[in-house]
Homo-oligomer: A and B are copies of this chain.
Amino acid sequence: MKKTLVLASLLVLVPALPVSAQTPIADRYRETANRIISTAFADSSAWNRLAEMTDKFGNRLSGSESLERTLDWVLAQMKSDGLDNVHGENVMVPHWVRGEESASLITPRAAPLHMIGLGRSIGTPAAGITAPVMVVGSFDELTRRAAEAKGKIVLFDVPFTSYGETVRYRSGAASAAARVGGVAALIRSVSSYSIQNPHTGAMNYDTAVAVKVPAAALSVEDALMLHRMINRGETVVVNLRMSAQTLPDAPSRNIIAEIRGSEKPDEVVVLGGHTDSWDVGQGAMDDGGGIVAAWEAVKLIKRLGLKPRRTIRVVGWVNEENGSRGGLGYRDAHRAELDKHVLAMESDNGVFHVLGLGISAGQGGLAMGQDIASLFSSFGATKATDGGTDADTDPLNALGVPTISPTVDGTRYFWFHHSSGDTMDKLDPHEMAENVAFLAVTAFVAADMPGYLPRPAVKPAGR
């Protein structure tokens, strides 16, 4: 362990040395990595497995029967794959149901609008809410024009910049509208390209605002149209109907399967994705691809007869989309063994062409990540960058577990995510195989190498 750390530190301190000469990890595992990669690339088995799962069960919102049936099926398949310690770990999850919903333009002309309710929103009365629409481009603009908002449906027509920036409107629109007397909130879909496919996603009610109003996304197209009408001085009236409701929490599971370590079985590499999705499309990209790629990676290691010194554990976290109960539940159930978690990886950015990896570890971790990434030169995934947590690995990282995340070409991720367009055809079998290869190699290396990835500092308020 020491030796590797020292070498890694040298990489940072002496950047002038050629990087190719400084790959102690890669040198040790290059042959194994190439075997894994060529086997992963030899067929479309991962894509086919994902297609089978998502065609068979469809999307998988927390609390739904389709999610539970998917989990049953995956656990049964994992057992027949011969993986070790296959089991579910109980997690109670929020149970929000969409029900029937619609939005209609009433004035200046009658027309259906392309809408989708936001997750966790309350519903409307049965007849819906019919009110004039006020359009704003930001929270600040709503604050400035607060006096106009009373009795209005407030439409936030905010162009997509980055997800982190624009998603604030999905989260906060309802309470911002309610605070100034609005009766409902609409947002322009948080998406970077649209063919009339509105995107859902989680919203929140600010506990400091007493009144809750319903919230939905309009397609980019319809949001722009209403905005143009209002810019022309027209009065725009919309009817919004949503029968959404939140039922009592429902029982669900994180799912787990392992290859038990040959020498240090209590030391664990975790890799996975989340099993739940939103309730539209197939949830193929977000995040069927992630959990199936991780599962296939572990199967591939087993199929090749590789015997890692540490345990490799695939985890299907549940409820990433509307509660993060799976990620938090895993942390809490395994808190006592987290100091033996040597790496955690989640794939939740789409199984697109891999560009490299992000890593969140201690001092020297980035250089070791670079060393590992050099194993992926055959498909150009050699870039290592700082920062490698995802929603379900972030709670582990906060408690000192090194995390890695595959970095992928996300050009079209926000075209599809949380919408009806998240379907199998958006994923490419070879690109998915790259993700399988990446996860398998990285997991195997971390589970087998003499040293350890340096651990990040524990965050004081690790959630």
Contacts and interface: CB of A to CB of B under 8 A. Distances in A.
Interface of A: 51-52, 55-58, 108-109, 111, 114, 194-197, 220-221, 224-225, 228-229, 232, 281-282, 415-416, 419-421, 423-425
Contact of A228 (B51, B108, B114): B51
Contacts of A420: 114, 195-196
Contact of A58 (B111, B220, B425): B111
Most buried by B among A415, A419, A420, A424: A420
Contact of A229 (B55, B114, B196): B55
Given A52-B232, A56-B108, A57-B109, A195 B225 contact: no
B55 A195 contact: no
A55 B226 CA distance: 9
A196 B421 contact: yes
A47 to B, nearest CB: 11
Given A55-B225, A195-B196, A195-B421, 17 more contacts: A51-B228, A55-B228, A56-B109, A57-B109, A194-B425, A195-B195, A195-B420, A196-B421, A220-B425, A221-B424, A221-B425, A224-B424, A224-B425, A225-B282, A225-B423, A225-B424, A228-B424
A194 B423 CA distance: 11
Given A52-B232, A224-B424, A425-B224, A195 B419 contact: yes
Contacts of A109: 56-58
Contacts of A58: 109, 111
Give the top 6 A-B pairs by smallest Cβ distance, nearest first: A195-B421, A195-B195, A196-B420, A221-B423, A195-B197, A196-B421
A109 B52 CA distance: 13
Contacts of A416: 195
A422 to B, nearest CB: 9
A320 to B, nearest CB: 22
Contacts of A221: 421, 423-425
Contacts of A194: 195, 425
A224 B225 CA distance: 32
18 contacts: A51-B228, A55-B225, A55-B229, A56-B108, A58-B109, A58-B111, A195-B197, A195-B415, A195-B416, A195-B419, A195-B420, A195-B421, A196-B420, A196-B421, A221-B425, A224-B424, A225-B424, A228-B424
A312 B228 CA distance: 32
A196 B52 CA distance: 20
A214 to B, nearest CB: 22
Nearest to A109: B58
Nearest to A54: B225
A413 to B, nearest CB: 13
Contacts of A421: 195-196, 221
A72 to B, nearest CB: 14
A228 B55 CA distance: 8
A152 to B, nearest CB: 20
